[in-house]
Amino acid sequence: MLPLRYTRRWQLAGALFLLIVLGATLMPAWWFWSELPRAALFAADKWLHGITFALLAIWFSGQYARRSYWRIALGLIVFGLLIEFCQRMVSYRTAEFADLVADIAGIFAGLAIGALGAGGWSLRFEHWLAAERHS
């Protein structure tokens, strides 16, 4: 983990973010999803998976050094598998391999964004916050 001043708060926020994503993926499908044509529904679902996991990857790239990005990727892939496993256990959701593929694409897109400069954003935020307090 990067040398963050508010490490526990960042970890708690990350855990909360993961719980919100897990909860959202286990909720019954929204009523308007049923109004979409099947192909549009499939595409929207995959985009939602990809964007969600890209945001998770960007979030965690803010707290960890680049040398740990492989751990972020592995952890988020396991989280994606957990989601699919949990969705198999409820009658109103389905587990799909394509969801996991979209998750992985999002993870790598998010980590690429982190590697291109967004990584470590939480450390920069803390430095900005400290500078604001001293002005």
Domain boundaries, the chain: 40-134
Residues 6+ apart with CB under 8 A from 82: 22
In this structure, what token pair is assigned to residue 72?
């972020």
Cα 46 to Cα 12: distance, rounded to the nearest angstrom: 27
DSSP, collapsed to helix, strand or coil, labels residue 65 as coil
Residue type, 40: A
Q: How high is the mean pLDDT of the chain? A: 93
Cα 78 to Cα 72: distance, rounded to the nearest angstrom: 10
Closest CA to 80 of 58, 51, 49: 49
Residues 6+ apart with CB under 8 A from 68: 1
Model pLDDT for residues 50-81, shown as the tens digit of each residue: 999 999 999 999 999 999 999 999 999 999 99
Q: Are 106 and 52 a contacting pair, CB within 8 Å?
A: yes
Closest CA to 21 of 60, 68, 61, 66: 60
In this structure, what token pair is assigned to residue 131?
């500078």
Model pLDDT for residues 114-131, shown as the tens digit of each residue: 999 999 999 999 999 999
Helices 7-26 and 69-89 pack at an angle, to 10 degrees, of 30
At residue 32, does pLDDT exceed 90? no
